Amino acid sequence: MINSYQDGDKFTLAVDCIIFGFDNEKLKILLIKRDFEPEKGKWSLMGGFLRKEENLDEAADRVLQHLTGLDNVYLEQLHAYSAVDRDPLERTVSVSYYALINASTTPEINDDGEQYAAHWFNIDEAPELIFDHNAMVRHAMNRLRYRALTKPIGFELLPEKFTMRQLQSLYEAILGEKLDKRNFINKINGLDILHKLDEKDMNSSRKGSFLYMFDELKYNAKVSEGFIFKL
């Protein structure tokens, strides 16, 4: 039995963030172009190394805020990647997280004078990534699809006020399939967690489309009574 800390091998621990956004039409992912070796000039997820004074969640928050300037966003831990040869420079274990933000409220993020430049890509047009980052993205997409059908996390990707069409477009982008308009609206209305406003979005049509808001207080009250979100 190993009974001494000195008997353990030392290695580097990192976090990598899969940052999803939605621009009211397409599901997007935020990637960086590396300006350092290894894999200089190739596209990557945004990541960083765990510091002595922080836990993994705090490290992921720091990485996300450094790149986007945002805090208090939806962030969920996914998986640990520990293949011996996943990083050619040194033995590194990475814990992945995915974040959900409204891409339309986040300006294009360019070279900030440090070691990377960032760009939004449509999820189905994203380039090949370094190391095992493609596997991380696939894992995150599977989790996002599952969560979107069992929890109201999709609203994290929308503006505070949105149309029913924007909501349907979001779910179609996440699920990768077209949805029947009538069935979708009936399911959403059946959940009874949206607040219909008197305001309209006049950009969608001549008559305009009513705007809605997610009623978080009502949703939480329903959950406390046993309500289960399911689409």
Profile the chain (231 residues) by mean pLDDT over runs of 10 residues.
72 96 92 90 95 97 89 94 94 97 65 63 96 98 97 95 96 96 96 96 85 97 96 91
* pLDDT computed for residue 69 by the predictor: 84
Beta carbons of 49 and 14 less than 8 angstroms apart: yes
Type and span of the H or E element at 211: strand 209-214
Distance, in Å, from the CA atom of 86 to the CA atom of 115, rounded to the nearest integer, reads: 21
Beta carbons of 180 and 218 less than 8 angstroms apart: no
* pLDDT computed for residue 45 by the predictor: 97
* pLDDT computed for residue 115 by the predictor: 43
Eight-class DSSP state of 9: P
* pLDDT computed for residue 116 by the predictor: 54
Domains in the chain, start-ordered, CATH in brackets?
10-150 (3.90.79.10), 159-224 (1.10.10.10)
* pLDDT computed for residue 68 by the predictor: 84
Q: Which long-range CB contacts under 8 A does 49-52 form with residues at least 24 apart?
A: 49/12, 49/13, 49/14, 50/13, 50/14, 50/15
pTM: 0.91
* pLDDT computed for residue 113 by the predictor: 46
* pLDDT computed for residue 109 by the predictor: 56
Helices 133-150, 164-175: axis angle to 10 degrees equals 130
**Of 103, 120, 102, 106, whose CA–CA distance to 214 is shortest?**
102
Dig out the tokens for 6 from the structure: 């000195």
